[in-house]
Amino acid sequence: MNTLIKKEFNSIVGDSRFRDRLEDLLSYSYDAFTVESVPDLVLLPVSTAEISAILKVASEHQIPVTARGAGSSICGAPVPVNGGIVLSMTMMNRILETNTPDRYCIVQPGVINGDLQAELAKSAFFYPPDPGSMAFSTIGGNLAQNAGGPRCLKYGVTSDYVLGMEVVLASGDVIRFGSRNVKDVTGYRLSGLFCGSEGTLGVVTEITLKVVPLPEAYRTVLAVFNDLDDSAATVSDIIGAGILPAALELLDKVLINTVEDANNIGLPREAEGLLLIEVDGSEEQVEKELALIVEKVLSNNAVDIQQARTAEERDNLWQARRSLYPSMARLKPNCIVEDATVPTSKVPEMIRGIRAIIDKYKLLCGIAAHAGDGNMHPLIACDLRDHDEMERVEKAIEEIFELAMANNGTLSGEHGIGIAKRKYLSMAIDKPTLKFMHTLKQAVDPHGILNPGKAI
């Protein structure tokens, strides 16, 4: 990028929020996937007006612009593969309004999910989407990836909570859609288009989110199995019985032991499978659902059921779940998390199939799943420098996706496509539909400057 153009950008944000030294740029060249690419410039805007001005200049010179939240994506989504500008949204991190009588809050995109949760905890309301990265990922990044998490089984994913948005388009034009109303069918539902678009259609600068009342009570149990198949079968038995837990998470033996090695919290090392199950609602409802769940768990040969008796015990169990990725990442230089998703009834078949693929390719891989909604997370510890191993990883991933598709599944339940899964898109989306997506992209971003090379 030439000096004159850089000066134009500098005049918008000023020296203190302008970065072009290599040592600064490197920090914005990667996410939690395996691909790196250094941008030419990093800008840290603080307002919609600044972002609009930046995009006008970028559009004029056809310079790629990639918005970035916390950089925690697992699919390469915020990596600036064509260089250009990284727009770090972290300084736009204010919670602008919480309005519980009207059940909404308004936030800037750089607000950390966990900070919003903490603010809402002062009221009788909460914001359900709870990605494992909630302590550091941003609401803007959650929206752009349509993030999910354990609670999404019962409560739905990010897009189910977006009431309205302000977005700066590639041209620099600012559009606002949706409203503060939980019911609103005025015009096209554009929020559905922008959720999951990975920053390829516009830069989101303000988000209105729905919030919901906190449940009165929780019950959290850990069910221990000596056979992974039994734990998987329990999942569809519970859902099939008409019980929708707040969360229903599965861990295999590799992960039980890896998490235990890293955290030492007393998980049963000898178990082949664990289910972490949480129900919420009124006292009466949680007791009733818990009794039914225990029945299903025992009829599928569980060898032990442990119930969290205190808030601290509940937190410990959830901490174990949230530490899967960092625990697994300790084993080798790299860790690839896959995200294929199938209908709940196919979970047992999928788990057996993934295990067989892992064994076939002799990989170090643990299987976790948001099992209640069929969202599989094989976590493969690997070393990018080991070409033979990476070839086996690639083959295994392709076969896992083929298996998911053969079971009426999909490529991604929550992590998105980014760079990681683009080459597999045709397995899940037919040609006319992909063409329609490209037509949409072309219409809103004719020069293709917004996060090129991602999502579609």
Ligand X SMILES: Cc1cc2nc3c(=O)[nH]c(=O)nc-3n(C[C@H](O)[C@H](O)[C@H](O)COP(=O)(O)OP(=O)(O)OC[C@H]3O[C@@H](n4cnc5c(N)ncnc54)[C@H](O)[C@@H]3O)c2cc1C
Residues in the site for ligand X, rule: CB under 6 A? 31-32, 66-74, 77-78, 89, 109, 131-133, 137-138, 140-142, 144-145, 147-149, 198-199, 203-204, 325, 414-415, 451, 454
Cα–Cα–Cα angle for 39, 40, 41, nearest 5°?
A: 95
CB-wise, 73 or 300, nearer to ligand X? 73
168 closest CA partner among 86, 42, 48:
48
One DSSP character per residue, 397-444 reads HHHHHHHHHHTT-BS-SSS--TTTTGGGHHHHS-HHHHHHHHHHHHHH
Q: Least Å distance between CB 87 and ligand X? A: 8
CB-wise, 91 or 303, nearer to ligand X? 91
User: Which residue minimizes CB distance to ligand X?
Assistant: 141
Q: Least Å distance between CB 308 and ligand X? A: 20
Q: Least Å distance between CB 112 and ligand X? A: 8
Contact 108, 96 (CB under 8 A): yes
Q: Least Å distance between CB 25 and ligand X? A: 15
Contact 417, 456 (CB under 8 A): yes
Q: Least Å distance between CB 84 and ligand X? A: 12
Tell me the HSE value of 261 on the side-chain side, using a 13 A CA sphere: 13
Q: Least Å distance between CB 384 and ligand X? A: 17
Q: Least Å distance between CB 74 and ligand X? A: 5
CB-wise, 189 or 395, nearer to ligand X? 189
Distance of CA 26 to the CA centre of its chain: 24
66 Cβ contact partners less than 8 Å away, ≥ 6 residues apart: 39, 78, 79, 80, 84, 85, 86, 87, 199, 450, 451
Angstrom distance (rounded) from CA 389 to CA 301 = 36
Contact 331, 363 (CB under 8 A): no
CB-wise, 56 or 352, nearer to ligand X? 56
Tell me the HSE value of 245 on the side-chain side, using a 13 A CA sphere: 30
Cα-flanking dihedrals φ and ψ of residue 157, to 5°? -95, -175
CB-wise, 230 or 338, nearer to ligand X? 338
CB count in 10 Å sphere of residue 391? 11
Contact 214, 126 (CB under 8 A): yes
For residue 57 the two structure tokens come to 């200049």
CB count in 10 Å sphere of residue 59? 20
Q: Least Å distance between CB 78 and ligand X? A: 4
CB-wise, 72 or 300, nearer to ligand X? 72
CB-wise, 137 or 341, nearer to ligand X? 137
For residue 337 the two structure tokens come to 């998390």
Angstrom distance (rounded) from CA 415 to CA 366 = 17
CB-wise, 146 or 344, nearer to ligand X? 146
CB-wise, 233 or 450, nearer to ligand X? 450
Tell me the angle at which helices 228-240 and 347-360 cross, rounded to the nearest 10 degrees.
160
Q: Least Å distance between CB 66 and ligand X? A: 5
